[in-house]
A and B are shown apart, each in its own frame.
Chain A
Amino acid sequence: MEIKSMRFKANSEASLANVVLQGNLKNAKGKFVTKRAEAIKELDDFEGTRDAAAAIRNKVIDNLDLWLERFETKAQETGAQVMWAKDGAEVCRLVTEIARKHGVTKVTKSKSMLSEEAGLNQALEAAGIQPVETDLGEYILQVNDNEPPSHIIAPAVHKSLDDVADLFHKVHGTPRKTEIPALTREAREVLRGHFLTAEMGLSGGNFLVAETGSVALVTNEGNGRMVTTMPKVHVVITGIEKVIPTLEDLSTLMRLLPRSATGQSISNYFSILTGVKKPEEHDGPEHLYFVLVDAGRADVVGGEFHEMLRCIRCGACMNHCPVYQTIGGHAYGWVYPGPMGSVLTPLYAGIENAIDLPHAATLCNQCGVVCPVKIPLPELLRKLREKQTDAGLRPLTERIGLRVWAWVAQRPALYGLGASLGARYLKWLAGGNKSIRLLPAAQEWTNGRDFPAPQGQTFREMYAARRKSAAQGDAK
Chain B
Amino acid sequence: MSSREDILGRVRAALHRNAGNAATAREVMAAALANRNPGPQPAVAGEPRALLERFRLKSEQASSTVDIVATEADVPAAIAKYLAAMKLPTSAVAWASLGALDWAGAGLKVEARGARDADLVGITGCFCAVAETGTLMMTSSPDTPAAVSLLPETHIAVVQASRIVAYMEDAWNLARAELGSLPRAVNFISGPSRTGDIEQTIVLGAHGPYRVHLVIVEG
Chain A residues in contact with chain B, CB under 8 A?
24, 27-28, 31-32, 42-45, 48-49, 52-53, 56, 59, 62-70, 84-86, 90, 134-137, 140, 154-157, 159-161, 164, 180-181, 183-185, 188, 191-192, 195-196, 210-212, 214, 220-223, 225-226, 228-230, 240, 245-249, 251-252, 254-255, 262, 265-278, 280-284, 292, 294, 298-299, 301-303
* Most chain B CB atoms below 10 A, which of A210, A266, A284: A266
The 6 closest A-B pairs by CB, nearest first: A282-B114, A222-B208, A252-B39, A221-B206, A302-B14, A137-B197
Task: Return B120 CB to nearest CB of chain A, in Å.
Answer: 13
The reply to whether A66 and B22 contact each other, CB–CB distance below 8 Å, is yes
Task: Return A261 CB to nearest CB of chain B, in Å.
Answer: 11
The reply to whether A161 and B198 contact each other, CB–CB distance below 8 Å, is yes
User: Among the listed A48, A49, A247, which residue makes an inter-chain contact with B172, where contact means beta carbons less than 8 Å apart?
Assistant: A247
Q: What is the bound-complex CA distance between A49 and B38, given in angstroms? A: 10
12 A-B residue contacts at CB 8 Å? A85-B3, A134-B207, A136-B195, A191-B207, A245-B35, A248-B169, A268-B189, A268-B190, A268-B194, A274-B183, A274-B186, A278-B184
Q: What is the bound-complex CA distance between A275 and B141, given in angstroms? A: 13
User: For residue B114, which residues in chain A have a CB less than 8 angstroms away from its CB?
Assistant: 282-283
Chain B residue total in the interface (Cβ 8 A): 76
* Most chain B CB atoms below 10 A, which of A27, A180, A292: A180
Chain B residues in contact with chain A, CB under 8 A?
2-4, 6-8, 10-12, 14-17, 22, 25-26, 28-29, 32-33, 35-43, 58, 61-62, 113-115, 117, 133, 135, 140-142, 145-147, 150, 167-169, 172, 181-201, 203, 205-209
User: For residue B37, which residues in chain A have a CB less than 8 angstroms away from its CB?
Assistant: 248
The reply to whether A63 and B28 contact each other, CB–CB distance below 8 Å, is yes
User: Among the listed A136, A161, A225, A266, which residue makes an inter-chain contact with B208, where contact means beta carbons less than 8 Å apart?
Assistant: A225
User: For residue B26, which residues in chain A have a CB less than 8 angstroms away from its CB?
Assistant: 66
Q: What is the bound-complex CA distance between A196 and B119, given in angstroms? A: 13
The reply to whether A268 and B117 contact each other, CB–CB distance below 8 Å, is no
The reply to whether A283 and B15 contact each other, CB–CB distance below 8 Å, is no
User: Among the listed A63, A156, A181, A281, which residue makes an inter-chain contact with B140, where contact means beta carbons less than 8 Å apart?
Assistant: A281
The reply to whether B196 and A301 contact each other, CB–CB distance below 8 Å, is no
User: Among the listed B35, B184, B199, which residue makes an inter-chain contact with A246, where contact means beta carbons less than 8 Å apart?
Assistant: B35
The reply to whether A49 and B200 contact each other, CB–CB distance below 8 Å, is no
Task: Return A208 CB to nearest CB of chain B, in Å.
Answer: 13
Task: Return A161 CB to nearest CB of chain B, in Å.
Answer: 5
The reply to whether B8 and A67 contact each other, CB–CB distance below 8 Å, is no
The reply to whether A251 and B167 contact each other, CB–CB distance below 8 Å, is yes
The reply to whether B199 and A161 contact each other, CB–CB distance below 8 Å, is yes
* Given A245-B29, A273-B184: A299 in contact with B14 (beta carbons within 8 A): yes
* Most chain B CB atoms below 10 A, which of A48, A137, A185, A255: A255
* Given A180-B201, A268-B192: A294 in contact with B14 (beta carbons within 8 A): no
User: For residue B7, which residues in chain A have a CB less than 8 angstroms away from its CB?
Assistant: 84, 86, 240, 292, 294, 298
Task: Return A46 CB to nearest CB of chain B, in Å.
Answer: 8
The reply to whether A281 and B8 contact each other, CB–CB distance below 8 Å, is no
Q: What is the bound-complex CA distance between A159 and B188, given in angstroms? A: 30
Q: What is the bound-complex CA distance between A137 and B25, given in angstroms? A: 42
The reply to whether A298 and B10 contact each other, CB–CB distance below 8 Å, is yes
Q: What is the bound-complex CA distance between A220 and B181, given in angstroms? A: 26
User: For residue A292, which residues in chain B have a CB less than 8 angstroms away from its CB?
Assistant: 7
User: Among the listed B43, B133, B187, which residue makes an inter-chain contact with A265, where contact means beta carbons less than 8 Å apart?
Assistant: B133
The reply to whether B184 and A281 contact each other, CB–CB distance below 8 Å, is yes
User: Among the listed B15, B40, B61, B168, which residue makes an inter-chain contact with A63, where contact means beta carbons less than 8 Å apart?
Assistant: B15
The reply to whether A248 and B11 contact each other, CB–CB distance below 8 Å, is no
Q: What is the bound-complex CA distance between A86 and B4, given in angstroms? A: 8
* Given A161-B198, A245-B33: A251 in contact with B39 (beta carbons within 8 A): yes
Q: What is the bound-complex CA distance between A125 and B173, given in angstroms? A: 44
* Given A220-B195, A265-B133, A272-B186: A254 in contact with B168 (beta carbons within 8 A): yes
- The closest CB in chain B to the CB of A246 belongs to B33
The reply to whether A262 and B207 contact each other, CB–CB distance below 8 Å, is no
The reply to whether B25 and A66 contact each other, CB–CB distance below 8 Å, is yes
User: Among the listed A69, A180, A210, A222, which residue makes an inter-chain contact with B199, where contact means beta carbons less than 8 Å apart?
Assistant: A180
User: For residue A276, which residues in chain B have a CB less than 8 angstroms away from its CB?
Assistant: 184
The reply to whether A43 and B40 contact each other, CB–CB distance below 8 Å, is yes
Task: Return A38 CB to nearest CB of chain B, in Å.
Answer: 12
* Most chain B CB atoms below 10 A, which of A84, A223, A248: A248
* Given A43-B42, A301-B14: A223 in contact with B2 (beta carbons within 8 A): no
- The closest CB in chain A to the CB of B184 belongs to A284
Task: Return B123 CB to nearest CB of chain A, in Å.
Answer: 15
